[in-house]
Structure 1
Amino acid sequence: MKLLRKKRVLLVLFIALVTVLFFNSSWMGRWIYPIHYKDVIVKHAKKFEVDPLLIAAIIRVESNYKLSSESRKGALGLMQVMPNTASWVIEKGKFDTVTMDEVKHEAEPNIQIGAWYIKSLLTKFDNNTYVALAAYNAGPSVVAKWLQNDTWDGKFENVKKIPYGETKNYVQRVVYYYNKYKDLYQNELS
């Protein structure tokens, strides 16, 4: 009986140790929260002066790194850029060689377009990441109206005041993944 009790105690201790290692290990976190296309993300993040971890978090929420994703609303690729937005970015950013087919099916042009667009939103909204994320999801003119009529003040602690449930959830999810990525990849991708 004593031997059986000792084995149970050892089993419980072993399970506790494995659990602690599982939840506190960097390799496990990287397995659960991977970042694909790191080189492309870093390249365009540096080019447009955007945090690469923010771009990675947007991609995670938008497409979960599925290259040729297309939403029900028609958003394209890894960063789920709407076709009209992609066309506007191609024109404004002078990306004359980028085609819509490339935006939909290739990582590099999609990330380039998305990184340029998030930088333009950050610039438009005084580098307020939460507002830029809301605008990335709901559109800049809609978010500008929310700010103008005091529907939302642009602060994360007041994100519950965002009137679109999808956008509120989107901002919260991107911030969640951004913080996870910061914990796991800060020194690697910065």
Structure 2
Amino acid sequence: MKWLRKKRVLLLLFIGFTAILFLSTNWMSWFYPIYYKNEIRTHSTTYEIDPFLVAAIIRVETNFKTGRESKKGAIGLMQLMPDTAKWALEKAKLPDVSLERLKVEPSANIELGTWYLSSLSRQFKGNRVAVIAAYNAGPGKVQRWLNEGDWDGTEAAVKNIPIGETRHYVQRVIYYYDQYTEIYNEF
């Protein structure tokens, strides 16, 4: 009987400890971590982009793993296509940034990717969902979909995005964006 009582006490202590641990910490952040917070915060402030959007795009693109190159040739944490990166480097006038640095240096890649998001945000007048779609499919395609009425640019109509890959991409980025904004009080 004493043995059974000891087990119950240990079980209650374990449950109590676990409850305290979960209630006193932001335990959901264990499942949805954000790496490179300082870089994201700095560049998001500079280019006036929501840092949670940058983090969600990085999460979907590379899950915060550096040195990635996609089958299509996209490079770095934010998976910028080389042609887009070259164009953005010319427009952004970033000193000392090269394609090689974009592949391996998180800060350089996050800066250029955030600058590009800012450019897309201006082009699509702050429409976050259209910006996400344009980041994946390209601004020309997204503008054509909007002009031709294939998609209205809203989150409610994401299912109408003509390209399945982009539709799925937008849904995933929005999912992580929502998780991050719910879990983290501030960036």
TM-score, normalized by length of structure 2? 0.88
- The aligned counterpart of 1:67 is 66
* TM-aligned CA deviation for residue 186 of structure 1: 3.0
1:1-190 matched pairs, under 5 angstroms: 27-187=26-186, 189=187
Tell me the distance in 2 between the aligned counterparts of 1:160 and 1:79. Answer: 24
Q: Secondary structure at the match of 1:186?
A: coil
* TM-aligned CA deviation for residue 27 of structure 1: 2.9
Tell me the distance in 1 between the aligned counterparts of 2:57 and 2:32. Answer: 13
Deviations 1:126-152 (A, max 9, x none): 100000000000000000100000000
Tell me the distance in 1 between the aligned counterparts of 2:57 and 2:88. Answer: 17
Tell me the distance in 2 between the aligned counterparts of 1:120 and 1:44. Answer: 13
**176-185 or 110-119: which moved more?**
176-185
* Residues paired across the two proteins, number: 186
Tell me the distance in 1 between the aligned counterparts of 2:74 and 2:42. Answer: 23
Counterpart of 1:118, as a letter, is: L
Counterpart of 2:48, as a letter, is: E
Counterpart of 1:94, as a letter, is: K
Q: Percent identity?
A: 51
TM-score, normalized by length of structure 1? 0.87
Structure 1 segments, 4+ long, off by >6 Å, are none
Distance 1:147 1:37, change over 3 A: same
Preserved CA contact (<8 Å) 1:70 1:80: yes
Q: Secondary structure at the match of 2:184?
A: helix
Gaps (5+ residues) in structure 1? Answer: none
Tell me the distance in 1 between the aligned counterparts of 2:67 and 2:32. Answer: 20
Deviations 1:21-74 (A, max 9, x none): 86x775321110000000000000000000111100110001000011111101
Counterpart of 2:185, as a letter, is: Q
Preserved CA contact (<8 Å) 1:26 1:184: no
Distance 1:141 1:25, change over 3 A: farther
Deviations 1:167-188 (A, max 9, x none): 111111111111111112232x
* TM-aligned CA deviation for residue 87 of structure 1: 0.5
Counterpart of 1:100, as a letter, is: L
Tell me the distance in 2 between the aligned counterparts of 1:55 and 1:185. Answer: 14
Tell me the distance in 2 between the aligned counterparts of 1:28 and 1:166. Answer: 32
